[in-house]
Amino acid sequence: MKKPSPQRQPGEDTAAHLAVPLPAVPPSAAGALRTDAPAPGEGVPTPRVSLLRQVTASQLAADGTPVPSGTQAVPAASSGIEAPPARPAGPAGGTTQSPAEASPSTSPYVLQQGTSTTAVPQQAHPQARRLLRRFIEDQAPPTTTFNIVDRLVGSPYANPTVAPTPESVEELARPVLLFALDLAEAMFRWGAGALDVETSVIAVTASLGLRHVDVDITNQSVHLNHAPPEGLPVSMLRVVRSSSDNYAGLTLVHQLVADITAGRVGLEFARNRLRSIRRRHKPYSKPIVLAAGALFAGFFVLVIGGSVNGALAATGSSLLVTLVTRLGSRWSVPSFFSVAAGMFVATVVAFVLFQLDWLSHPELVVAGGMMLLLPSGRFVSAVQDGIYGFPVTAVGRLFSALLTYASIISGILVGVAAWRAFSTRDLDLAAAPDSPSLPLPILCLLVAGAVVCGAVVQQVALRHLWIIAAISVAGYLVLRLFTDYVWHSPRLAPAIAAVVIGLLARWIGLRIGTTPLVLAVPAIVILLPGLSIFRAMYRMADDNEISAGLVGMFNAFAVIMGIAAGVALGDTLARPFTKDWNARARKRIRRR
């Protein structure tokens, strides 16, 4: 039986009869509903009550809009709203109503209070709300698992051949991690940067079947942790306590990693090949390295404007410095004191020859003797590690390089102080040549010869010597161009030349199968400010010019750091030019 329509008694609150309208009806429906409130004592018409459902104010304002008291909801229309057709009766005799009809968010309505009509905003479409939320809010989850293989983007191993994970991954984890630690130790000992070591370890472990390996590199240690989703984790640590110049071995390790990531080498063969690389003799013997270091000092003195006598004196003093440092290493003397002793000997020899009138500019001889002792490779590696996200390794390498730098200036300072104590002849630093007087083609040949000798000292492979010479000559030409024609800035010009060297080193190195560091570090030796360091130390030995000496030391250190940062910047600028090479390598890997 149909329930009778409720009647509003006189004086009853109108808010108790708030109603939700039905959907709009066609104009053919008969009858219109009144939009004004009934007079006191007048009953609500039966058609109105039978079509409207009583709800509370909170149900009507589903979008959060407060509904004022005494307001009544009616179907939206300009003046009069036609009544909808009758709906079929439900099972209990009442009217049926779909969820869409009962929901106030899908039915347009207006609120009437007194004689004014207020429109209630309709809720936005769900897709529009979703698009707006996606535009405003950050869609990334607050925490997510970082894919360690993403660290290979931009490296020569950007798309390694990932081997399928075997069923017995726990048995494979230990030998693969041991091989990766041996690889990382060899690279660290021979002067590789932290980023090169990390990318090599990630590429090798992924190519050999381990996909859940975390790498942690500090100044002297490499920590590998394999934690699969199912199974026991395996953690290994290796500490590297020694270092040696062996860029030829570093190149062979780089080629081994490239073969592993290309899928051409398995674990057992890679282990034997790495063992043979570590046992391989260096390309140059100790007498050849000694002679190359002496020739480098002589060439460098000629490049910075010295005479033939100065070049010969620098060659002899460089031999003495090398012998003193090797003797200190044989006696297990810390390198700080052995390097300081070598620079003291070089300074004393130069001033003795100056006292005998055999030299006119002893500072050039001292500058030539210290160039190979400057830790240029560690400065470059420290700056690159700091830029690429290895702050602990960067601080450790920078502090080690600063100790070597301090030992060099300490030996020079003690030698200058000793000469001032026993000699009355003063040195005129202003009389030293600021620029070389030889023709530019001859200077380029001298630069190439000096850099080749320096590369021999750092044990670069024989086939890479001419490439390093060409890169260094290009950097030297940029240096002369900026200092002579563009902008005479002794601090900015070496940094710009280092950018060119770093760019060429990466662009060429990835195509000949070696790391850019092997080509860049020997090439920047010619840019280092050895003469500025000596001049600053000579002023610091005088009590009246200590402040000028400190300023000179700061300028020299700024030039060294600018050169190191320039190499890192050039390496970064060259990455867009090496993307095609990486794409071709990926195609070759896929074809296999």
The confidence score (pLDDT) of residue 52 equals 38
What is the band of 116 on the pLDDT scale with cuts at 50, 70, 90?
very low
Higher pLDDT, 433 or 383: 383
Q: Decide if pLDDT at 566 tops 80.
A: yes
Inter-residue contact 92 to 59 (CB < 8 Å): no
Instruction: Identify which of 93-102, 263-272, 581-590 has the greatest average pLDDT.
Output: 263-272
Q: Decide if pLDDT at 98 tops 60.
A: no
- Sort 39 into a burial class: Cβ within 10 Å, 0-12 / 13-18 / 19+: exposed
The Cα 527–Cα 501 span in angstroms is: 11
The Cα 591–Cα 197 span in angstroms is: 28
Per-residue pLDDT of 46-93, as tens digits, reads 444 333 344 444 444 444 444 444 444 444 444 444 444 444 444 444
- Strand pairing report for 81-82 and 32-33: antiparallel
Higher pLDDT, 438 or 516: 516
Per-residue pLDDT of 243-292, as tens digits, reads 888 999 999 999 999 899 888 888 999 999 999 999 999 999 999 999 99
Inter-residue contact 215 to 202 (CB < 8 Å): yes
Q: Tell me the longest C-alpha to C-alpha distance in the chain.
A: 132
What is the band of 469 on the pLDDT scale with cuts at 50, 70, 90?
very high
Q: Decide if pLDDT at 231 tops 80.
A: no
Inter-residue contact 464 to 512 (CB < 8 Å): yes
What is the band of 550 on the pLDDT scale with cuts at 50, 70, 90?
confident
Average pLDDT of span 351-369: 87
The confidence score (pLDDT) of residue 250 equals 93
Q: Residue 277: CA atoms inside 13 Å, Cβ hemisphere, count?
A: 24
- The structure's pTM equals 0.72
The Cα 555–Cα 561 span in angstroms is: 10
Instruction: Give Cα separations from 87 to 1, 22, 101, 580 (angstroms).
Output: 16, 11, 12, 71
The confidence score (pLDDT) of residue 155 equals 67
Q: By percentage, how much of the chain surpasses pLDDT 70?
A: 71
Mean pLDDT (the chain) is 77
Stated as kind and residue range, the H or E segment containing 348 is helix 335-355
The confidence score (pLDDT) of residue 51 equals 36
Higher pLDDT, 385 or 582: 385
The confidence score (pLDDT) of residue 536 equals 84
Among the listed ranges 174-178, 288-292, 488-492, which one has the minimum average pLDDT value? 488-492
The Cα 397–Cα 217 span in angstroms is: 13
Among the listed ranges 91-95, 190-194, 408-412, 515-519, which one has the minimum average pLDDT value? 91-95
Among the listed ranges 119-128, 304-313, 577-586, which one has the minimum average pLDDT value? 577-586
Q: By percentage, how much of the chain surpasses pLDDT 90?
A: 32
The confidence score (pLDDT) of residue 107 equals 44
The confidence score (pLDDT) of residue 367 equals 87
Alpha helices in 138-189 (DSSP H): 169-189
What is the band of 187 on the pLDDT scale with cuts at 50, 70, 90?
very high
What is the band of 140 on the pLDDT scale with cuts at 50, 70, 90?
low
Higher pLDDT, 242 or 252: 252
Average pLDDT of span 188-200: 89
Amino acid at position 341, single letter: A
Tell me which residue of 361, 336, 362 sits closest to 347, measured CA to CA.
362
What is the band of 577 on the pLDDT scale with cuts at 50, 70, 90?
confident
Higher pLDDT, 163 or 589: 163
